[in-house]
Structure 1
Amino acid sequence: MKVKNEQLEDLIVKLRAREEAAPLSPKQPWREELDTDIAALVLAEPRGTLAIALKCGLHLLNDSIDLAHGYAQQIEHDATGAYWHGIIHHMEHDYSNAKYWLYASGKHAASRQLEEQAFRWLKEESDWTSAAEGKVKDAIEGLAAGSRWNALLFVDAIALQESGVGSEQTYRILQHVQGIEIQALFDYTLAAAVQAGQA
């Protein structure tokens, strides 16, 4: 998607230049200076729901959970805001709230891209079948076998992993799928904000 806002486009380029995957539960921003750049970002309609969602997504791509959370709380009445809020809560280990907000987001339009990309990766590229037997592998198998993306089962898989019952291999698998989840919602948010004239 072509973004006419050069400041926004520059931020996206910087965030996409990241080579390592974000942790399941980031403890600090990836690059603190990007938080300053995001705060200074001038959007066409800064108080618009999609503009706020866009800043939320930018901060989350930079592992800035607290800043992203502040934006998500402003738009939690909206399906996109609720979806961002759910992702943030599972990254904070607040799994019941994550499920609440993911459920509140309904069948979000970004779910289609997430389903396609996550299923393709799990079924064709991932090595989850060789992971050690256990509850996390069972949850990943349930995700891969489903006909629709199951955000609540994904939260359960992360909760199990973060409780210490998973392996390094299952961590990397969930980490990759979380990256797909965040990118799918960000792509949707960006396109919607541009189309609505809020970016």
Structure 2
Amino acid sequence: MTSETQWDHDRGDLKSAIRTIPDYPKPGILFRDITTLLGDARAFRRAIDELVQPWCGAKIDKVAGMEARGFILGGAVAHQLSAGFVPIRKKGKLPHTKVSIAYSLEYGLDEMEIHQDAVIAGEKVILVDDLVATGGTAVGAVSLLKKIGADVVAACFVIDLPDLGGADKIRELGVPVRTLVSFPGH
């Protein structure tokens, strides 16, 4: 089973289901909007099926999703794998005992949190989000999961922006990366 996959070839329907918005959130940025993919039942189903495929029949205990689009995708992946779902939230959003980590953004640092008891040490966890760009958020999430004892099996994204190098940063942590489509630039 190979989980390190780039599904750019022959996947035009997924790629075409993603809307590109120029100059958002600032001039020069091409924002890749998955709300159009989520609203297209066939494309949404295909994306979830392809994110799940390498782990069908494997024992995945939990799927972790990052706020907010990772909740949508991760919840669907967890359901398909009969796994639990773990939300990774922005600071101050979780009500119980939590563990936090600072992570890098283009403009500075932010913090994310997870419930301390969200994962039992050694549980196999897949991290899911919509897009990997610079990797700051995903690297932070992987580190946070490992901090509470998770065995992070893979990080899965619908979109990769390979020019920004985020997927490579995750791989450097020893975590395979699965993406379904890629776009050049940022």
Same fold (TM over 0.5): no
Q: Which has the higher strand share?
A: 2
Higher relative CO (CA 8 A, sep ≥ 6), structure 1 or 2? 1
For the aligned pair, the TM-score class normalised by the smaller chain equals 0.3 to 0.5
Q: Over alpha carbons, which structure has the higher Rg?
A: 1
Q: Which has the higher helix share?
A: 1
TM-score for the superposition, normalised by structure 1: 0.32
